[in-house]
Amino acid sequence: MTFKEKYSIISKVLFKIKNGAKKMHKDDTFATALNCIDGRTQEPVTKWVKEQFNVKYVDTITEPGMDNLTNDGSGLHEETVQKKALFSIEKHLSCGIVICGHHDCAGNPISKEEHIEEIKEFCRKVLSKWQLGIPVFGLFVNEDWNIEVVYSEK
Ligand SMILES: [Zn+2]
């Protein structure tokens, strides 16, 4: 069974289990993206997420320089984004989440290597602290606006 088929089944099972949460059409499947506000990143990330999780829609939560979010000392900003992610999971039964960083980011102007480290750190934090119960992937959108998977926890 391919990864795509596996997640298609999981999302349909989740739909059946939690259908009481909200009335949705059975084909309305979702995954969640935590991405930069940068318009250049939206299409490649959405395309990758739809293909990877075999979903019809991608709930997208954006902040400038999203991959730097968890370095905000106060934690307030992180809490807001976490609430939005939980909303997507609870209301739309999202079956996977991606944390994104990208080339030429005005909101987080650091090197590619530093972006990758921040994305990995963010993913590990989501897994240990947010405990969403769905697969977490870290994506870097490179200088050609292609996706590089830098973290994967299924
Ligand atoms: Zn950016």
Tell how far the Cα of 32 is from the centroid of ligand 1, in angstroms: 17
Tell whether 11 is covered by a domain.
no
Ion ligand 1 nearby residues (CB, 5 A)? 36, 38, 105, 107
Tell whether 12 is covered by a domain.
no
Tell how far the Cα of 51 is from the centroid of ligand 1, in angstroms: 23
d(CA 74, CA 25) in angstroms, rounded, equals 39
Domain that holds residue 56: 28-66+79-153
Instruction: Output the tens digit of pLDDT for each of the chain's 154 residues.
Output: 666 666 665 665 555 555 545 567 778 999 999 999 999 999 999 999 999 999 999 999 999 999 999 886 667 789 999 999 999 999 999 999 999 999 999 999 999 999 999 999 999 999 999 989 999 999 999 999 999 999 998 7
Tell whether 102 is covered by a domain.
yes
- Strand (E) or helix (H) holding 124: helix 112-125
Q: pTM for this one?
A: 0.84
Contact 8, 22 (CB under 8 A): no
CATH number of the domain encompassing residue 144: 3.40.1050.10
